[in-house]
Chain A
Amino acid sequence: MTAISQDQPKVKPKGPPNLTQSTGAGWSFLVPFLVIYVIFLIYPVIQAVIMGFFDWDFLDISDRTFIGLKNYGRMFWGTEMTWDAQHLWAWRLVGLAVIPFLWRAVGRRSLTRGSAIGLTIMLVVLFGVTMGVHPGEGGRWYDSQFWSSFGNTVLFVIMSTPLIVGLGLALAVALNRPGRLVAILRTMFFAPYVLSVAVLTLIWAFLLSPSLGLIGSLWESIGLEPVNWLNSSTWAMPAIVVTTLWWTVGFNLVLFLAGLQDIDRSQYEAAELDGAGTWAQFRFITIPGLRRTTLLVVTLQIIASFQIFGQVFIMTRGGPNGATRVSIQHIFESGFRDFELGYASAMSLFLFVVMVSISFLQFKYFEPEGTA
């Protein structure tokens, strides 16, 4: 028996911390990084905002004309624009269907009433109103590829995020146990993450090839018609999703494993004594315990998915018929194939704003209380 007093944490004397006031020293340590940071990260953002207002030619970068908001008009607008309730109704309905869930969350006190009102207004404006705007009869978008590539990007985000996060979580829970064998298995699932995108596409382009690949021969051996996955407008995007899943699931696996380590083991022991089964333990201890990690993983995953480029660009070049053309590819080609740097900048800013808004929303409204 140890004395109880020994178990009590030592109270630190509440004096001034050892942070001596030294402005000169502070800045001398900071400045080298700061210079690089301002030049190569902050300045480009400002430059992007400026370039967005110009018609800026790639071939002669001193040749630029101020055109105000025309780049944005070209992105968001078209001819004969109209509004009607049925345009893209299925997608918009899905967006609006989120609203009841928000209010259920208010009922369960995981969201404040004010936040719910704000989010509801946002969803109504975005899905109820804005998405109904489109070119009417005889009209067209000024840049329909902007919308189709953005649509493909969103489609990729929607398809890949639940799969990659879900599989990452499942693997983490399954592999969160001691032992050498399990450690080796963790390594095996994580290994593809260290490959570069060019190696990834090298492997998967051939893996998916109907004549040369393993998947094709497996397909034929069970008596099915070979499918040219990457050349089919139906299957190209799912094939890209599967490729990405294989590549990046290890990253989420690691984050979830770290999150699982933080859950107090005694909670499981207590639950076991109470006779809670594996599923109940997962549902009532693991899931709530991983809330913060899940929020982080989902946010990182969505942001990374919005930036998808390499896989698509190397494997399909955006084809077939633009079915896998994504936003970054459109920006890249507008800037470096069509030589319109101003327009490409405007589109990068749009993508930037979308990503920042998503991470802002997630952290503002879904951060569990007390951890912000």
Chain B
Amino acid sequence: MTMTGSKANRSAEALERASRAHQIRRRLFIGFLVVAAIVWIVPLVWMFSLSLTPNEILQRDTTSLLPREPTLGNFSDVFSVGLTPRWFLNSVVVTTVTTIFTLILSAMAGYAFARIDFRGKKIMYPFVLAGLMVPKEAMFVPLFLMFAEFGQHNTYHALALPRIAAPLGVFIMTQFFAAIPDELEEAARVDGAGRWRTFISVMMPMAAPALTALAIFTFVLTWNDYLWPLVSATQREMFTITTGLASLQGNFAQATELGALMARGVLASLPLLILFVVFQRQLIRGISIGSGGK
């Protein structure tokens, strides 16, 4: 308040200049990020472009990011040649079953840990969490042996069961149920609803956000699983889309069938890309709560 008029003027000018410089820097920075993001998804765009380009053109040039003479021929090839539709179906079945059972079992166990006081809980919760330390990737040999002893390989349940045993879902659901205020459950109980009624008609609907996040996260991980299906499903008819697509790489007469191969890649990633666009927020939530970050 004690500043003289001229001083105030000068500092206002300086401030304005500084803020304009700040604005320009900010715009440049955003511009840089936009360019970087576009470069980042070029490989993805390229796959789509190649999948829509006729194979004859691809024999001469594969570097176009926009399909020349776009065609759906490669996609009709997917459905007429090879087992890709079968693999896709296998993936849909295994992923759906795994996701549904993961949700049900995790929610039940999470509810028990978070809201019921039972004998043995203090031992069982750490026992389940300890499973978070076990890397599936390093334990596939004994798992393989187990299914082999009962002759259960090359089945859907062999592909799904080991994934359902994931303690991560229990951890997420326990965290979620523990945060629900007691009053809500109390009200239901006062109305005479039993444990199961309360669980199914009060707690489950309330857990919808956590369940959605867990479902998306499980779906992505199961769809993309590679090592276990590679070990367990060895008959070509039982491949998942991930192991099937991997089996085609290197076997294909690469340069001539590139378009058809890329079309299979597009098909394999389409469900997840769609899911991702629709449920982006839930997937991201799933990652951050699933990692214990929040």
| Chain A interface residues toward B at CB < 8 A | 17-27, 29-30, 32-34, 36-37, 39-45, 47-48, 51, 56, 61, 174-175, 181-182, 184-185, 187-192, 194-199, 201-207, 212-214, 217, 246, 251, 254-255, 257-259, 262, 293, 296, 300, 303, 306-307, 309-310, 314, 328, 331-332, 335-336, 341, 344-345, 348-349, 351-352, 355-356, 359
Q: What are 20 inter-chain pairs, A to B, with CB distance below 8 A?
A: A18-B185, A20-B116, A21-B117, A29-B109, A32-B108, A41-B165, A42-B131, A191-B41, A192-B43, A192-B44, A196-B223, A196-B224, A199-B245, A201-B249, A202-B265, A212-B258, A214-B43, A214-B46, A331-B138, A352-B139
How many A-B residue pairs have C-beta atoms within 8 angstroms? Tell me: 274
Mostly helix, strand, loop or mixed at chain B's interface? helix
Mostly helix, strand, loop or mixed at chain A's interface? helix
Q: Please state if B41 and A352 are interface contacts (CB–CB under 8 Å).
A: no
C-alpha gap A20/B41 in the complex (Å): 53
Q: Kindly report which residue of chain B lies nearest to residue A192, judged by CB atoms.
A: B44
Please name all residues of chain A whose beta carbon is closer than 8 Å to the beta carbon of B124 when the two chains form the complex.
Answer: 30, 34
Q: Please state if A36 and B105 are interface contacts (CB–CB under 8 Å).
A: yes
What 20 new A-B contacts, CB under 8 Å, besides A33-B106, A188-B37, A309-B227? Answer: A27-B118, A29-B116, A33-B105, A34-B124, A40-B164, A41-B165, A41-B167, A48-B142, A61-B148, A181-B34, A185-B37, A192-B44, A194-B283, A195-B44, A203-B44, A212-B62, A213-B62, A258-B294, A296-B293, A356-B133
Please name all residues of chain A whose beta carbon is closer than 8 Å to the beta carbon of B43 when the two chains form the complex.
Answer: 192, 203-204, 207, 214, 246
Bin the interface of chain B by size: 35 or more
Q: Please state if B284 and A174 are interface contacts (CB–CB under 8 Å).
A: no
Contact flag A51-B142 (CB < 8 Å), given A27-B120, A254-B284, A258-B288: yes
Select A61's contact among B42, B121, B149, B277, beta carbons within 8 Å. B149
Q: Please state if B141 and A194 are interface contacts (CB–CB under 8 Å).
A: no
Select B117's contact among A19, A204, A344, beta carbons within 8 Å. A19
Please name all residues of chain B whose beta carbon is closer than 8 Å to the beta carbon of A47 when the two chains form the complex.
Answer: 142, 145-146
Q: Please state if A45 and B293 are interface contacts (CB–CB under 8 Å).
A: no
Closest chain-A Cβ to B191's Cβ sits at a distance in Å of 15
Please name all residues of chain A whose beta carbon is closer than 8 Å to the beta carbon of B128 when the two chains form the complex.
Answer: 33-34, 37
Please name all residues of chain A whose beta carbon is closer than 8 Å to the beta carbon of B170 when the two chains form the complex.
Answer: 33
C-alpha gap A205/B241 in the complex (Å): 18
Please name all residues of chain B whose beta carbon is closer than 8 Å to the beta carbon of A246 when the two chains form the complex.
Answer: 40, 43
Q: Does B119 contact A (CB under 8 A)?
A: yes
Q: Does B213 contact A (CB under 8 A)?
A: no
Q: Kindly report which residue of chain A lies nearest to residue B64, judged by CB atoms.
A: A214
Closest chain-A Cβ to B290's Cβ sits at a distance in Å of 10
Q: Kindly report which residue of chain A lies nearest to residue B108, judged by CB atoms.
A: A29
